[in-house]
Structure 1
């Protein structure tokens, strides 16, 4: 049957494939690229017609042919050929041939029917090639990191290779030196061979200090945005105050419960400055506990503009400078709540 098909195709004017090539029937359409060449020629003709039609359309509408855009073409076609057809696909259009006709894939097989790419049978070779390269590079970085941790990092002076047992002896000697009570006197020698793997906690968790501003009465204040869950609160903290609170134009006692009030006063209690600042806050949605947490976060951030570094450390260690991103956990099926069980 294959020979009959080849004879019929040869009778139509297509050159017959030589008998020496042992090609599987699936890859014959790719190997005989004459059809692909013909489609490319047709696409070039269609593109030439499109460019010519675009120039005629620009001449009719008074546009610049070199500066006309797709939106101008669509508006011109809609103006010249008004249509009341309900289906948008039935209305006249003028698109680039690359948008109207499907692209023809090039040959992905060799003359023996084998695919060129080793990930061809995943049906998405380019995507899995990227994933494969990413995994290989990740493994290479992990191997390099393990080698660095095993061998350590010497200074540029110690460029020669040493064996592992010598490195262990070096570690024991240096550790014994650093354990001495007055090892600080030899700090320069010790730091030649030490490398800091990460910064200190104070540099890792630094918080941007808000700028101190002045109002029209020359009064100091700082502005910070506190967050809790997905809601936020803009807090203005005035120095040299009397402890006044205003949240959404409401007093503290009129708006919040005793528990929420205690939450918002926590930064002042931690910094030992209760009653020394005035607070004006505006919240964006959320319940009472969410608003209280957002205002507390904003107060703690604004306090960083007025307090010392030791007080900032206290606020950070108490978790007052960290955005609490926790959300409500959903209710579970056959349970009265998220975690609560029937007793």
Structure 2
């Protein structure tokens, strides 16, 4: 599918904080809607694989709720994000195919999805059980031909989320009920976050707990020495977590706000954080930050409202990058809010 609607160009500068130096500036431009098919389109991720860019997200005609009609869409761009074409769409029978995330591991491109069991149609909230979660993946060697959805051994009862790789092993964030409790449904303080580890990207085992209470969506960032930094959505506020191999001991500190659908990446020597910020006067907004001295410095807020956030990031060059996100701030011709996928370009100014 070609990129269609080009929104009014957004261009502004913002501060990039860097240790012991005057902060350079960032320009945000070419903000545009790149996908809308009349369904609920949400939970994005971006990656570069074999010279092409890939964008993935969930699409569901039944909306945000847990529903078996959900699927994951994968788009490819051969021109640095100017246009996008579909290369794959997949779903898992009787499961809500949700929160797709990329990982390049051993020269293969993986798309991981945490799936709620839903049966046929929409599963009521009171019947949702994390113990019935199961992770799946589709895999490609070339970005064109994809495997069927593959069940991930060792993930039953875990809601898998973002993935990362280091030193020949893959790692997943997995959320689960404490002791797989069969009592209360849904999520809450009795949720653990587990770092899952794999040698092939398909068979997983627990490496360690990194949050034993109130665990939530978490993004990992591995440094060259094997130490890992993590942003845990937690409940409120989000937390900044750290560990070193073998990742059995973690330090945690609260940040100054909630971050929904967190993104954590390295751009050059700087750590970029993104996610949903629940503002007091303007509602939820998709926002980007620099992590400086363990504190968040906001530098961009994208047009967004209501159901939004879950950004992805891909570096185009040392000074240019793309960010993806979803939002419901636009309306269709009938005045009904749509949930669509958007891209924006970031440029570092010297």
TM-score above 0.5: no
The structure with more strand, counted as a fraction of residues: 2
Q: If the TM-score is normalised by the length of the shorter chain, which range does it land in?
A: under 0.3
Q: Which has the higher helix share?
A: 1
Select the structure of larger CA radius of gyration.
1
Q: Answer 1 or 2: higher relative contact order, Cα 8 Å, separation at least 6.
A: 2
Per the normalisation by structure 2, the TM-score is 0.16
